[in-house]
Amino acid sequence: MRIIIITVFTFLTLGVLVLMARIWGLSQTFPVYQHAFFGGAEPILIVKTETLTEAQEAVKVRPDVVLWLDVRVSKDRVAFVLPSSNDNEFIQKKQEEQAKRPTEPIFTGGKIAEYDWRKIREVFPQTPLLTAFYKEFPTTRFIINIIDNTNEVHRTVVTELEKVQPDNRTLVQSDTLVILTAIKELKPTWLYGTSLPDIMRLLTFDSLYILPTTQLMGDVFIAPLTHRKRPAINDEIIEEMRRRNRRIYLGPLNNEEDFALARKYKAEGYIADDLSTLLKFTE
Q: Over the range 177-207, which residues count as b (16 or more CB within 10 Å of their CB) and which as e?
A: bebbebbbeebeebbbbbbeebbebbbebbe
CATH 3.40.50.740 fits domain 35-282: no
Q: What is the CA radius of gyration of the chain?
A: 22
Tens-digit pLDDT profile for residues 183-234: 999 999 999 999 999 999 999 999 988 999 998 989 999 999 999 889 999 9
pLDDT, position 21: 67
Task: Tell me the sheet residues that pair with 270.
Answer: 45, 250
Looking at the predicted structure, is the pLDDT value of residue 155 above 90?
yes
pTM, to two decimals: 0.92
pLDDT confidence tier of residue 12, bands split at 50, 70 and 90: confident
